[in-house]
């Protein structure tokens, strides 16, 4: 309960975006209002084929990538597991794999599991000035490096990595490149036709404005990833072996139709609003928030020039959880505090204590940014009397 019922200000869009465009909610309701109809799966003449709609719309949005090379999964974590496990399934001998200190546990944990099983040797590429440079990647390569998995956009610092330059280096060495685009798809242009990446992972519930439970990946050459899950596809049903064609190779069981409908509507909203317009507003609000927070000497901002609408900070002398608590209880502002699933990054920036993250979206108003900045500055000014010292 919030004592004075201040209007809710949601600044946790890097975790999951909210609110959703009204058409996303309408699409979910519509998708459930009629029996599902999916080509090959369920006979019927009513309703929309949300699978094809979402695949076509998303592939256009991601630069015109071939739609059949876009695979739907449960989320970005699911996609990364399928790709990493499927790539390593094809390797007979232990090989060297790289990821970065910016990365999320969705990348770190699958890789550490394989390291524990002695299937890979894992090294972590450090970051400097909030980013992983192509030179740092080059310097970390070993003669038997077979795979690099890394984030496109940091979910804590908001920095976007130069995956084009990194991909060019890796491809010169014949090294496979999987990119985690959970934080970038829907925020910045991504042209998969053109980018030198082997696989690019997305999630539906963040910048693409869909709902949790739907994600996917783009895969350039299907033969490079062995399928690791098998089951019904609604196609070639006499065969007791799972189809190997795309995208059935990786899609199993009943699809998340409401999630697909929501994703298609989210992408339609982004197209109609225009990514350039969305980016312009995000940049303006992010710069405003950073400028305001910098007015208090005891606020430490970890990346003062983020490429994404993500601002990570701590207030000296106040635990980040306490800042989040006061923001929520005193101001009805939803931020995210703690480790943000990026343990190596936190070790580097805040000694593993964690930080406060605020992340506006297209739906955040300038007035909400002003109120949030005022609230954070007030907490900083009262830092001495705030409960809990860091």
Ligand X SMILES: Cc1ncc(COP(=O)(O)O)c(C=O)c1O
> Residue numbers of the site for ligand X (CB under 6 A)?
15, 75-77, 104, 106, 151, 155, 180, 182-183, 203, 215
* Strand arrangement, sheet containing 215-219: 70-73, 215-219, 199-203, 176-180, 145-151, 95-100, 120-125
Q: Which is nearer to ligand X, 36 or 188 (CB)?
A: 188
d(CA 172, CA 175): 8
Q: Each residue of 68-106: b (16+ CB within 10 Å) or e?
A: ebbbbbbbbbbbbbbbbbbbbeeeeebbbbbbbbbbbeb
Q: Which residue has the tokens 């990538």?
A: 65
d(CA 177, CA 198): 5
Q: Which is nearer to ligand X, 260 or 379 (CB)?
A: 260
Nearest to 72 by CA among 201, 164, 190: 201
> If you ran DSSP here, which 8-state letter would residue 332 be given?
-
Cβ atoms of residues 119 and 94 within 8 Å: yes
Helices marked H in the chain: 22-33, 50-61, 76-89, 105-116, 134-140, 163-172, 257-273, 275-293, 320-331, 343-350, 366-381
Cβ atoms of residues 153 and 127 within 8 Å: no
Strands 95-100 and 145-151: parallel
d(CA 194, CA 314): 38
Nearest to 30 by CA among 253, 269, 265, 272: 265
Cβ atoms of residues 226 and 84 within 8 Å: no
Strands 311-315 and 355-358: antiparallel
Polymer length of the chain: 390
d(CA 190, CA 167): 14
Q: Which is nearer to ligand X, 62 or 76 (CB)?
A: 76
160 phi and psi, to 5 degrees? -105, 130
Helices marked H in 34-127: 50-61, 76-89, 105-116
């Amino acid at each position: 309960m919030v004592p004075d019922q201040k209007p809710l200000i949601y600044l946790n869009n890097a975790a999951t975006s909210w609110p959703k465009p009204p058409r996303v909610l309408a699409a979910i309701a519509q998708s459930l209002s009629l029996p599902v109809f999916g080509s090959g799966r369920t006979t019927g003449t009513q309703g929309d084929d949300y699978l094809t709609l979402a695949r076509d719309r998303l592939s256009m949005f991601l630069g015109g990538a071939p739609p059949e090379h876009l695979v739907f999964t449960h989320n970005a974590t699911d996609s990364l597991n399928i790709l990493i496990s499927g790539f390593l399934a094809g390797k007979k001998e232990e090989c060297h794999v790289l990821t970065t200190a910016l990365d999320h546990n969705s990348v770190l944990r699958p890789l550490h599991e394989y390291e524990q099983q002695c299937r890979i040797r894992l090294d972590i590429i450090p970051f400097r000035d909030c980013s992983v440079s192509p030179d740092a990647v080059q310097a970390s390569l070993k003669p038997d490096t077979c795979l690099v998995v890394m984030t496109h956009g940091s979910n804590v610092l908001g920095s976007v990595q130069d995956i084009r330059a990194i991909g060019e280096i890796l491809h010169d060495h014949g090294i496979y490149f999987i990119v985690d685009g959970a934080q970038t798809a829907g925020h910045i242009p991504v042209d998969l036709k053109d980018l030198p990446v082997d696989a690019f992972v997305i999630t539906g519930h963040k910048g693409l404005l869909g709902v949790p439970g739907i994600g996917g990946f783009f895969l350039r050459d299907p033969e490079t990833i062995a399928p690791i899950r098998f089951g019904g596809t609604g196609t070639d049903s006499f065969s007791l072996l799972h189809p190997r064609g795309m995208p059935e190779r990786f899609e199993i069981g009943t699809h998340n139709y409401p999630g697909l409908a929501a994703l298609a509507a989210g992408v339609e909203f982004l197209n109609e609003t225009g990514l350039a317009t969305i980016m312009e507003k995000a940049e303006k609000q992010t710069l405003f928030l950073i400028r305001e927070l910098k007015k208090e000497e005891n606020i430490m901002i970890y990346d003062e020039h983020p490429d994404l609408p993500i601002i990570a900070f701590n207030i000296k002398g106040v635990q980040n959880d306490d800042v989040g608590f006061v923001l929520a209880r005193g101001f009805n502002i939803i931020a995210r505090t703690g480790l943000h699933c990026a343990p190596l990054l936190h070790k580097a920036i805040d000694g593993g204590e964690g930080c406060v993250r605020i992340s506006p979206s297209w739906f955040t108003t300038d007035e909400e940014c002003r109120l949030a900045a005022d609230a954070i500055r007030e907490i900083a000014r009262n830092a001495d009397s705030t409960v809990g010292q860091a």
